[in-house]
Amino acid sequence: MNQVKKYLTKNQRHFVLDLCEYLRFPSVSADGNKDGLNHCARWLVEHCRRIGLQAELCKTKGNPIVIARTPGHRSNGKPHYLVYGHYDVQPPDPLNLWKTSPFHPRLVGHSLFARGASDNKGQHFAHLKAIEAYLKTGTELPCNVTFLIEGEEEIGSPSMAAFLRKNRTKLRCESVVISDTALYGLEHPTLSYGLRGVCGLEIVLHGPSRDVHSGMFGGAIENPAMALCRLLSRLRDENGRITIPGFYNDVLELSPFERAAFECRPFNANEYKASLGVPDLFGEAGFTPIEQTSARPTLEVNGLTSGYQGDGGKTIIPSWARAKITMRLVPHQTPRKMLALTIAHLKKICPSTVRMEIVEEHGGGEPYLLSPESAKIRTALEVLRTVFGHEPLLVREGGSIPVVNDFKRILNADSLLLGLALPDDNAHSPNEKFNLEVFAKGILMSAHLWQQLSSAERTSTI
Amino acid sequence: MNQVKKYLTKNQRHFVLDLCEYLRFPSVSADGNKDGLNHCARWLVEHCRRIGLQAELCKTKGNPIVIARTPGHRSNGKPHYLVYGHYDVQPPDPLNLWKTSPFHPRLVGHSLFARGASDNKGQHFAHLKAIEAYLKTGTELPCNVTFLIEGEEEIGSPSMAAFLRKNRTKLRCESVVISDTALYGLEHPTLSYGLRGVCGLEIVLHGPSRDVHSGMFGGAIENPAMALCRLLSRLRDENGRITIPGFYNDVLELSPFERAAFECRPFNANEYKASLGVPDLFGEAGFTPIEQTSARPTLEVNGLTSGYQGDGGKTIIPSWARAKITMRLVPHQTPRKMLALTIAHLKKICPSTVRMEIVEEHGGGEPYLLSPESAKIRTALEVLRTVFGHEPLLVREGGSIPVVNDFKRILNADSLLLGLALPDDNAHSPNEKFNLEVFAKGILMSAHLWQQLSSAERTSTI
């Protein structure tokens, strides 16, 4: 390990430069920029090969998946871990809010600004660099590691399940390690034992066959924008509760152990409000903001479009109005059932004066929950304690990593969620960044992790 | 008049070609396309001069106003009428719904398709061509006529009041003639004795200072798009009544004479629904669609904008959400009071979890009402009866012509609203058109109108 650590210290600057190269690709999956995605994936394969991994680009029905394995894999009988990540990124817009171009990485202090910097390129890159240190210094790895980096996470990982099923034997592993969640500060290393699920849909309400003059026709026909507003406003009550019948039926209530663990997470409402710039907090009555954002389901409108959006005014009744909606789910809600309940409710409350079109989003992900008191969790907590020198937090993550459930279902593997994204890293927002001190700690964490996990594995098999 | 009629018959084709030239200018006032507006105004001045009018381009703080007068104006002691129109047009978008380019006029049968064809270039052009016939045939006009064609009607005529005040003496007149309203068919010549007023505002609800990750933050902060939907949905009830306190206090109820006159207007609910493509009608309970669209006030959302609007999804809580809103007002509501009531109500019901920004629209127009039993109305009805050969309809118009009240207040002149736009002419919509049979009848109507109005004027002054 000394050689590994020395290599890491010496090469930190190179690692940042490598990461900058990686961040230059506009690998946005939502808008189907195939060139940006393909070039990015090919660059990643080349990079993995350069650091000594056996890498290949695997075709799927969607964007390619990058697989990179440590050498000598088949024969050495060592435990096998998967590192999962994704090279696709969220759309960068609204572009005008970026201080510099989202695909031209910019370093300010310890912050590296770029779309994908923390979500997720920087985070899985930390693991790549840890393995690079082993390989380049000739230090023997106590395990086999396979990197599985996909290009469709931000659109719900539609190709992953089929890929895992097809490569089930090759990918069989002890655990999956994922860095795609939050770290609550360098003094608060964080382990997530749960994730919310996600599902989405798009509603379009159609009114008149064209935008019509609000003077000539206003008063006798429904305005689709107003009907949409009414429809959406009827999905949530004043206490922040979703009003879709049955929506909470499958929700697992928090245990006292969990509520106590959540209390350890530093939280200052005023700082939280200030960091987000909101005048006040709002959430489901009876729960703390930490509980609301990690262990309670939500329904959010992600986008609204209707009528005239340019400068000035246009006195029309719009022909149609559209909303993009996603829901965050918690155990034991399922995307399928929640979508069905939502659609049934929408159909029930949609007035006869407009025609509703519902576009169900592909993909979606189940929520995930690992016992917070399991052996693997304890090992990972020990690594965090050693590397960061602080007591780690045990949290449930508000975001979603849909494939975590595929790993469980198809590979029968649990996922260890060792997040490296600071709360102010602006994931999914303009001016996304990655903290380079966290990057360095993350690489060290990864280097230690393989030792500890493998050692725990050996102990448990004896 | 025989010479005039002969000229009109002979030159109808030329008139259409002239109109096509006029329609080629993208004179959109809402988006501030100054070039399109200025070129259009200059062309109009030249055209007026060519047909024998004394025309000039008058600067304003906004877009120029075109003034064109019949010669010999000052000295002849004849009555004076103003023809008002506007050369500015609505924005043409959504462009993809136009069958051909909005500023490349296209003739199909009797329909001339182009933005501005009926609203309003074609309509005031009819009056220009009638005057042209008098001037080109050397037929003595029984009156003086001044054309006042502005370039800001579609944005609420912000420069007109100042212009009228400044030119009060020059523009003093017996009446204003305006063709900018509906004609319910060649068998239903139409005279409008009332107009709805209009006022507008834009609301922006601000939430987090940037779009944020709906997984990380969803549940603890308000979603501005959802708050906006709730706010807007609270402005109207299920019976189509606006719920802003005091909104109906100043509304003049319809008289039995008016309700009876409205009953004469042909209306078939199924055809109306089919022509608009709506599955059902919706309006204020207790009123017919004709009443709802002409004599009752409305509140319409003209545009909604929030969050991600591209393809696919983006799991964010949007930073802000915006609505463009206009209200149609009826006597004796005033834009100022209705805006004040609306803004006060919005402020009252806006939750503390978002910050509301209200942008009041400039301009706005008062509603207008002329006694449907006055002498001028009777004269105009007689002209319609003669020219169209059918009993005219007496209606109130759902749209707004804000300057009509300026004419009354500043010039003390009533406006005769002799509309030439068919209900299916798609004013403010894609594929706007103007019917060329109506155009021809409109020119003839104008030619007769000057005789009848002047003659009635002489009788009344004796």
Q: What is the Cα–Cα distance from A205 to A307, expressed in whole angstroms?
A: 12
Least Cα separation, residue B227 to chain A (angstroms)? 8
Residue B313: list chain A partners with CB under 8 A. Answer: 30, 155-156, 200, 202, 302, 324, 326, 361
Q: A416 pLDDT exceeds 60?
A: yes
Tell me which residue in B91, B217, B354 faces A293 most closely, judged by beta carbons.
B217
Tell me which residue in B230, B282, B323 faces A233 most closely, judged by beta carbons.
B230
Residue of A nearest to B428 (CA): A213
HSE-up (13 A, CA, CB side) for residue B56 = 5
Residue B213: list chain A partners with CB under 8 A. Answer: 399, 427-429
pLDDT (tens, 9 = 90+) of chain B, 462 residues, equals 899 999 999 999 999 999 999 999 999 998 877 999 999 999 999 999 999 999 999 999 999 999 999 998 777 889 999 999 999 999 998 899 999 999 999 999 999 999 999 999 999 999 999 999 999 999 999 999 999 999 999 888 889 999 999 999 999 999 999 999 989 999 999 999 999 999 999 999 999 999 998 998 999 999 999 999 999 999 999 999 999 999 999 999 999 989 998 998 889 999 999 999 999 999 999 999 999 999 999 999 999 999 999 988 888 999 999 999 999 999 999 999 999 999 999 999 999 999 999 987 655 789 999 988 889 999 999 999 999 999 999 999 998 887 999 999 999 999 999 999 998 899 888 999 999 999 999 999 999 999 999 998 877 654
Q: Which two tokens stand for residue A248?
A: 């909470």
* ipTM greater than cut 0.85: no
Q: A377 pLDDT exceeds 90?
A: yes
CB-based contact B426 A300, cutoff 8 Å = no
Strands (E), A255-375: 298-307, 316-317, 320-329, 355-360, 368-369
Residue A304: list chain B partners with CB under 8 A. Answer: 225, 228-229, 304-307, 309, 318, 321
Sign for the CA dihedral angle at B338, B339, B343, B344 comes to negative
Q: Is B52 exposed, middle or buried (0-12, 13-18, 19+ CB in 10 A)?
A: middle
B54 Cβ neighbours under 8 A, 6+ residues apart: B68, B69, B70, B71, B73
* Percentage of residues of chain A with pLDDT beyond 70: 98
A404 Cβ neighbours under 8 A, 6+ residues apart: A176, A178, A195, A365, A368, A415, A417
Least Cα separation, residue B235 to chain A (angstroms)? 9
CB-based contact B218 A32, cutoff 8 Å = no
Residue A314: list chain B partners with CB under 8 A. Answer: 30, 90-91, 302-303, 324, 428
Least Cα separation, residue B255 to chain A (angstroms)? 19
CB-based contact A279 B306, cutoff 8 Å = no
Global pTM value: 0.82
Tell me which residue in A200, A208, A303 faces B277 most closely, judged by beta carbons.
A208
The number of C-beta contacts closer than 8 angstroms across A and B is 361
Tell me which residue in A213, A225, A229 faces B427 most closely, judged by beta carbons.
A213
What pLDDT is stored for residue B318 in this prediction?
98
CB-based contact A278 B222, cutoff 8 Å = yes
Q: How many CB atoms lie within 10 A of CB B408?
A: 16
Mean pLDDT over A301-312 rounds to 94
Tell me which residue in A304, A314, A361 faces B313 most closely, judged by beta carbons.
A361
Q: How many CB atoms lie within 10 A of CB B389?
A: 11
Residue in the structure block whose two tokens are 């047909």: B51
Alpha helices for B213-268 (secondary structure H): 214-217, 224-233, 256-263
Residue in the structure block whose two tokens are 């998967």: A82
Q: A424-459 pLDDT, tens per residue?
A: 899 888 999 999 999 999 999 999 999 999 998 877
Cα distances (angstroms) measured from residue A30 to each of A91, A157, A265: 7, 11, 33
Q: A102-147 pLDDT, tens per residue?
A: 999 999 999 999 999 999 999 999 999 999 999 999 999 999 999 9
CB-based contact A428 B214, cutoff 8 Å = yes
**Domains of chain A (ranges, CATH numbers):** 2-195+367-461 (3.40.630.10), 197-251+297-360 (3.30.70.360)
Residue in the structure block whose two tokens are 């779309």: A115
User: How sure is the predictor about A311, in pLDDT bands with cuts at 50, 70 and 90?
Assistant: confident
Q: What is the Cα–Cα distance from A428 to B303, expressed in whole angstroms?
A: 25
Least Cα separation, residue A17 to chain B (angstroms)? 27
What pLDDT is stored for residue B377 in this prediction?
93
Q: Which two tokens stand for residue A444?
A: 């060290």
Interface-testing mutation among A196, A284, A290, A324, with chain B (most B C-beta atoms within 10 A)? A324
Tell me which residue in B214, B233, B280 faces A352 most closely, judged by beta carbons.
B280
What pLDDT is stored for residue A111 in this prediction?
97
Mean pLDDT over A342-353 rounds to 97
CB A354 within 8 A of CB A224: yes
Residue in the structure block whose two tokens are 């002489």: B458
What pLDDT is stored for residue B33 in this prediction?
77
Cα distances (angstroms) measured from residue B108 to each of A68, B99, B422, B431: 64, 12, 16, 12
Least Cα separation, residue B167 to chain A (angstroms)? 28
The total number of residues written for chain A in this structure: 462
Q: In this structure, which amino acid lies at residue A364?
A: G
Least Cα separation, residue A88 to chain B (angstroms)? 13
Mean pLDDT over A19-37 rounds to 92
CB-based contact A283 B219, cutoff 8 Å = yes
Identify the CA nearest to A441 among candidates A389, A396, A397.
A389
The conformation of residue B117, written as its DSSP 8-state character, comes to I
Residue of A nearest to B281 (CA): A221
Mean pLDDT over A273-279 rounds to 95
What pLDDT is stored for residue B363 in this prediction?
59
B334 Cβ neighbours under 8 A, 6+ residues apart: B197, B250, B366
Least Cα separation, residue A65 to chain B (angstroms)? 20
Tell me which residue in A236, A309, A398 faces B215 most closely, judged by beta carbons.
A398
Q: A382-407 pLDDT, tens per residue?
A: 999 999 999 999 999 998 887 999 99
Residue A272: list chain B partners with CB under 8 A. Answer: 220
Q: How many CB atoms lie within 10 A of CB A400?
A: 29
Q: Which two tokens stand for residue B343?
A: 């803004």
Name the 3-class secondary structure at B122.
Answer: helix
Residue B323: list chain A partners with CB under 8 A. Answer: 225
Tell me which residue in A91, A293, A431 faces B310 most closely, judged by beta carbons.
A91
Q: What are phi and psi of B281, to 5 degrees?
A: -85, 155
* Residue B300 CA to its chain's centroid (Å): 16
Q: What is the Cα–Cα distance from B16 to B18, expressed in whole angstroms?
A: 5
Cα distances (angstroms) measured from residue B388 to each of A191, A204, B108: 82, 44, 23
Residue A302: list chain B partners with CB under 8 A. Answer: 214, 225, 307-308, 313-318
User: How sure is the predictor about A209, in pLDDT bands with cuts at 50, 70 and 90?
Assistant: very high
Q: What is the Cα–Cα distance from A347 to A343, expressed in whole angstroms?
A: 6
CB-based contact B301 A306, cutoff 8 Å = yes
Q: Which two tokens stand for residue B38?
A: 């200025």
Q: What is the Cα–Cα distance from A446 to B178, expressed in whole angstroms?
A: 78
Q: In this structure, which amino acid lies at residue B10?
A: K
Name the 3-class secondary structure at A59.
Answer: coil
CB-based contact B200 A313, cutoff 8 Å = yes
Name the 3-class secondary structure at B174.
Answer: coil
